[in-house]
Each structure stands twice: as C-alpha cells, then as structure tokens.
Amino acid sequence: QVQLVESGGGLVKPGGSLRLSCAASGFTFSDYHMSWIRQAPGKGLECVSYITSSSTYTNYADSVKGRFTISRDNAKNSLYLQLNSLRAEDTAVYYCARAPYGGSPTRPEYFQRWGQGTLVTVSS
C-alpha cells in the first residue's frame, strides 16, 4: 500500500538549517509529482513547495522562496526539503504529499495521499 514517511524534523535555532526527507513506497515514485505542505500549530495548511515527477518544474510559496529547496531522488524513492535561514514562523508540522497520477504536467493540482508529518520547531 502507499506509504509516505517523513523524517528529519527537530528543534533548531533561528538562522539554522534542517533537511527533511520523505521515503515513499507502494507506488512508482518516479511517476508522481510530490509536494511539501506545512501546518503551524493550531493553524491551517500551506503548500510550501512542489516538484514534478522528473524534477522539471519546482515552485515555492513566497514565504519560503530563496530559503527552502525541494529535490527528489527517483532511484531512492525519496523526496527532500532543505530548510535554510529558519525563522520562528517556520515552526510547523511538515507533510509530504503525493499528487494524483496523470494530471497536469507542470503542477500537482491536488494532494491525493499524505504522510503523517514531521515537526520542525525553530526556537532559541
């Protein structure tokens, strides 16, 4: 069955860095666009970044542009998010999510399957 397992979260000081990972299984990873979506404590959902199946297209929320970098390794069935210059407002649960198969070639459209998330806390 489809599984998405995030890791790499933790406590980091403002200005610090983290690398999140998402291990995918149960489907042909290289066929699907992938995204990172975050949820600050008690708040709503925000699509932080997405990457198309072959890494041709990436996009970022304005709130993280220039600080976060999304990447993937289709040979390892893994998705990554490099978080740099972290701020207190980046504190959130970060979810890895899979798009549906066969949709738009340039964006995910929607999020068909989600991981359980990993918590990033930015605090001194």
Contacting residues toward another protein, per CB under 8 A: 35, 44-47, 50, 59, 61, 95, 100, 106-117
Q: Nearer to another protein by C-beta: 69 or 112?
A: 112
Q: Nearer to another protein by C-beta: 3 or 17?
A: 3
Q: Nearer to another protein by C-beta: 16 or 113?
A: 113
Rounded CA separation 90/120 (Å):
8
Minimum separation from the CB atom of position 81 to another protein (A): 16
Token look-up 């996009």 returns: 59
Q: Nearer to another protein by C-beta: 66 or 124?
A: 66
Q: Are 99 and 32 in contact (CB under 8 A)?
A: yes
Minimum separation from the CB atom of position 75 to another protein (A): 26
- Burial, 24: exposed, middle or buried (Cβ in 10 Å; 0-12, 13-18, 19+)? buried
Rounded CA separation 21/23 (Å):
7
Q: What radius of gyration, in Å, describes the C-alpha atoms of the chain?
A: 14
Minimum separation from the CB atom of position 124 to another protein (A): 27
